[in-house]
Amino acid sequence: MQKRTLGNSGLEVSALGLGCMGLSYGYGPATDTADAIKLIRAAFERGVTFFDTAEAYGPYKNETLLGEALSPFRDKVVIATKFGFNFGPDGGQSGMNSRPAHIREVADAALKRLNTDVIDLFYQHRVDPDVPIEDVAGTVKDLISEGKVKHFGLSEAGVRTIRRAHAVQPVAALQSEYSLWWREPEQDILPTLEELGIGFVPFSPLGKGFLTGAINEATTFDSKDFRNVVPRFSAEARKANQALVDRLGEIARDKGATPAQIALAWLLARKPWIVPIPGTTKMHRLEENVGGATVQLTADDLAAIETALADIKVEGDRYPAHLQARVDR
């Protein structure tokens, strides 16, 4: 697989990464550990060198899984993880916490779980309104000078926060949602990242599965699946949003690709410093998604996609209200 560099950081990764969250958290029961390890190693064999996790995925379990799965080729991959929450006794998030002492504790614990001596990319998972971003950036800067972390990242941060953070410690990458059905980053975020030389890592690049065509209004989700509380995944919203997937399906057929591959190729075609991190728990879908890196969209293809989707309004918020409040603007 081709490589990309995240902005001016020099951090080189495969054009597509692997989002590992769903193997432990978010979309129902965790995948059996042996199967999850097989999938992660299969991704590496197919050229994926960028693996995304977080303390919050499990919590903790996903980092431990990556630590084991990636150990045979640790020096050949880039591991990205995230800090920024407290967890209650049941493992649920009990609030944000990006206080410097906590960031340090999380870094040390993540290094152990990941079975490594350095975190390649350490993101703040959500901007903490109680801690000045300069203090967060300064703490990660110290961790970098101590050799525990290589690069600093932010997630769902707004442009003011990005600029303030970047002035203290250059930000290698922003990880935020971006896909054919969530294009808000095009307004202010992408121009700011381009100006500052920061890479962009779109999460949920397949629209949490919806853009692949595998979900419709009749789909039921496991009781633990986060999509049960996402307004964009209500049965009515899915019915309304089916038009987008139908058009995407037509475009994919014309191109001899699948909708998932078009969704990924579209992101890759936006900017050379964009690196999507699709997630899957299934080997055949991993193969399909990796194939998205070889689908070349021409300027005419991109214009046709723009025209085909222009009159479709996506229904439903991408987060329930209590989580939307955590998104920094």
Ligand X SMILES: NC(=O)c1ccc[n+]([C@@H]2O[C@H](COP(=O)([O-])OP(=O)(O)OC[C@H]3O[C@@H](n4cnc5c(N)ncnc54)[C@H](OP(=O)(O)O)[C@@H]3O)[C@@H](O)[C@H]2O)c1
Burial of 279 from C-beta contacts in 10 A (0-12 / 13-18 / 19+): buried
Side-chain half-sphere CA neighbours of 52 within 13 A:
27
- Residue placing its CB nearer to ligand X in the complex, 55 or 301: 55
User: What's 240's DSSP letter?
Assistant: H
Measured CA to CA, the distance from residue 259 to residue 39 in angstroms comes to: 21
E strand or H helix at 322, and its extent? helix 321-324
Q: What is the dihedral of CA 7, 299, 316, 215, to 10 degrees?
A: -100
Catalytic residue from among 57, 60, 123, 178: 57
Q: How far is the CB of 210 from ligand X (least distance, A)?
A: 8
Ranked by CB distance to ligand X, the top (closest) residue is 19
Contact assessment for residue 268 and residue 293, using Cβ atoms and an 8 Å cutoff = yes
- Residue placing its CB nearer to ligand X in the complex, 122 or 146: 122
Strands 171-177 and 149-155: parallel
Q: How far is the CB of 98 from ligand X (least distance, A)?
A: 14
- Residue placing its CB nearer to ligand X in the complex, 125 or 150: 125
User: What are the backbone dihedrals phi and psi of residue 78, each rounded to the nearest 5 degrees, phi first?
Assistant: -110, 125
User: What's 139's DSSP letter?
Assistant: H
Catalytic status, residue 57: yes
Q: How far is the CB of 145 from ligand X (least distance, A)?
A: 25
Footprint of ligand X (CB under 6 A): 19-22, 27, 52, 125, 155-156, 175, 203-209, 212, 214, 260, 277-282, 285, 288-289
- Residue placing its CB nearer to ligand X in the complex, 39 or 144: 39
Contact assessment for residue 243 and residue 229, using Cβ atoms and an 8 Å cutoff = no
Question: Which two structure tokens, joined as six digits, stand for 55?
Answer: 């303390």
- Residue placing its CB nearer to ligand X in the complex, 131 or 260: 260
Q: How far is the CB of 73 from ligand X (least distance, A)?
A: 19
Radius of gyration of the chain (CA): 19
Q: How far is the CB of 124 from ligand X (least distance, A)?
A: 10
**Helix%, strand%, coil% for the chain, nearest 5:** 45, 15, 35
- Residue placing its CB nearer to ligand X in the complex, 150 or 318: 318
Q: How far is the CB of 226 from ligand X (least distance, A)?
A: 8
Phi-psi region of 87 (alpha: psi -120 to 50; beta: other; left: phi over 0): beta
Residues acting as catalytic residues:
57
